[in-house]
Chains A and B, each alone.
Chain A
Amino acid sequence: MLNFPIKRNFSYAASIFGLLFVWQAASMVYHNYELFPSPVSVFLQLIQLFSYQNYITDVIASLKRVVAGFFLAGIMGVSLGIITGINRRLSYIVKPIIELLRPIPPIAWIPIAILLFGLGDLPAIFLVFLGAFFPIFSNTYLGVTHVDGRYIKAAYSLGATMKEIVLHVLIPSSLPSIFIGLKVGLGVGWMAVIAAEMVGAQSGLGYSIQMNRLLLDINKVVSGMVTIGVIGALLNLLLDEERRKLIPWNHT
């Protein structure tokens, strides 16, 4: 038991080094560093980029938009998911609307987002919201509607009212499912912010990638991609940590 996390961390590290090794080998075989930069050159580029104030500003701009859109989506997705999960009649009204809007990818909303909100933070936040809201809503709804009936029966026969059942049975038993929604939502939101910034912003990692693409600086483009990947993975870890704290009874 005790050495398990060490073993796991070791294999995580080995797996990442393996990926870097294959990348390095592929770039050496391809042998055109202008088109296919090696991990070493990208790493050096990243160190250089992070010494520029501009790049850090871009990273922070993207993060701010993701956090804002994700929080909005989290609050609305979870509360609407719970309310529609409890109230069947409301679900008959809300579900068809959700099912129609959900398949539209956030990117397809970009023209409307820019028309509505202009350029800058707002369209990006709106897109993150759209990307994150649907998985959060759907998983919350699923969690609330799939609560084991025994728990509800048990609660009723212990004297619980509807309010106590919602607070002490429906919500806690849906938490694992809600967290799946939050994780997926954060992932989609992070993708959506990059897409939004490539088109409708003057800052952010997506904007930086787009600019460097126009300047044919592939090294910087790939550095941007690596930054996106690493930050996305870190955000995911952060959510896992929160999950462990909030759901101590269910370690998976």
Chain B
Amino acid sequence: MIAFTKVSKSFDNGGKNFVRALNEISFEIERKEILCVVGPSGCGKSTIINLLAGFIVPDSGSITVSGKEVAGPSYLRTVVFQDDALFPWKTVKDNIGFGLRCKGLGSNEQAKKIRDILSITNLGEFSDCYPAQLSGGMKQMCALGRALAIEPEIILMDEPFASLDQQTRDLIQEEFLKIKDQIAQTVLLVTHNIDEAIFLGDKILVLTARPAQIKEIITVPFEKPRSPDIRSSQEFIDIKSRIWYMLRNDISVENLV
């Protein structure tokens, strides 16, 4: 279980821009659950990822994974970035194998794991391609595969599908859920896309504008495995308008310009 307890974080850009990103945030993520975080742009959603990944430390409060305080980056809390961050100099196969090599797995075990991941991400025939030769969707699948391969306790996804077009995005969300059913994996997914949060999330954490506080935690009622049809169900639309209504109050026109 992952727990944020009264976590606050501010950024001080040389004294000029003092920004309070998070204000005493507390929440928990259960094992094998997908928690989606939505909130107005710039509210500090990514700060949650950076804190949990161990890239930055909180000003106050504590972040624990299975009871242990987060200290620095670890493969146990691996990140999938918005623009994939695949190593351009490594092939698909070697990108997926990188974490395994760091873990010190033998080459046979590495090869076996890479084969498994290639098959669940449908990237088998692209194993020797470089990222530049892949489409946006395939790159993101590869980045997800790279994270899955090392079997972390949680995968942190920072707007992972934001740079994809809508159709690819829908398809990759469905693909992601299928993979998630095969490999039970705890996921924290930050997104600005409410549809995405409802379709993928078991729970949705709705944040306020800066300094972000928790507005509400919504439990998504749909059973898994989920069919894409739920997107057009009344229940889905109801949750969507509820979240949109919550966010609306916090999105002022000044913030948009």
A residues lining the B interface (CB < 8 Å) = 150-151, 153-161, 164, 168-169, 172-173, 175, 247-250
Cα(A244)–Cα(B99), bound, Å:
27
Question: CB within 8 A of B150: which of A151, A158, A173, A247?
Answer: A158
Question: CB within 8 A of B98: which of A168, A173, A247, A248?
Answer: A168
Tell whether, in the assembled complex, residue A249 and residue B89 are in contact, meaning their CB atoms are under 8 Å apart: yes
Contacting residues, chain A, for B55 (C-beta < 8 A): 153, 156-157
Asked if B146 is at the interface of the complex by the 8 Å CB criterion, the answer is yes
Cα(A9)–Cα(B54), bound, Å:
53
Q: How far is the CB of B93 from chain A (nearest CB, A)?
A: 13
Q: How many positions in chain B have a CB within 8 Å of any CB in the partner chain?
A: 28
Knowing A150-B83, A249-B130, A249-B132, say if A157 contacts B73 (CB, 8 Å): yes
Q: Can you list the 6 inter-chain pairs with the closest CB atoms, starting with the nearest? A: A159-B75, A158-B99, A156-B73, A172-B89, A159-B102, A249-B130
The chain B residue with its CB closest to the CB of A153 is B55
Tell whether, in the assembled complex, residue A168 and residue B87 are in contact, meaning their CB atoms are under 8 Å apart: yes
Asked if B230 is at the interface of the complex by the 8 Å CB criterion, the answer is no
Tell whether, in the assembled complex, residue A158 and residue B89 are in contact, meaning their CB atoms are under 8 Å apart: no
The chain A residue with its CB closest to the CB of B104 is A159
Contacting residues, chain B, for A169 (C-beta < 8 A): 87
Q: Taking chain A's interface residues, is the majority helix, strand, or loop, or is none over half, making it mixed?
A: helix
Knowing A164-B102, A249-B130, say if A157 contacts B77 (CB, 8 Å): yes
Q: How far is the CB of B2 from chain A (nearest CB, A)?
A: 15
Asked if B103 is at the interface of the complex by the 8 Å CB criterion, the answer is yes
Within 8 A of A (CB), among B65-109: 73-75, 77-79, 81, 83, 85, 87-90, 98-99, 101-103
Contacting residues, chain A, for B147 (C-beta < 8 A): 158
Tell whether, in the assembled complex, residue A158 and residue B53 are in contact, meaning their CB atoms are under 8 Å apart: no
Cα(A130)–Cα(B253), bound, Å:
60
Tell whether, in the assembled complex, residue B87 and residue A151 are in contact, meaning their CB atoms are under 8 Å apart: yes
Question: CB within 8 A of B79: which of A157, A175, A248?
Answer: A157
Contacting residues, chain A, for B130 (C-beta < 8 A): 248-249
The chain B residue with its CB closest to the CB of A249 is B130
Contacting residues, chain A, for B73 (C-beta < 8 A): 153, 156-157
Tell whether, in the assembled complex, residue A154 and residue B85 are in contact, meaning their CB atoms are under 8 Å apart: yes
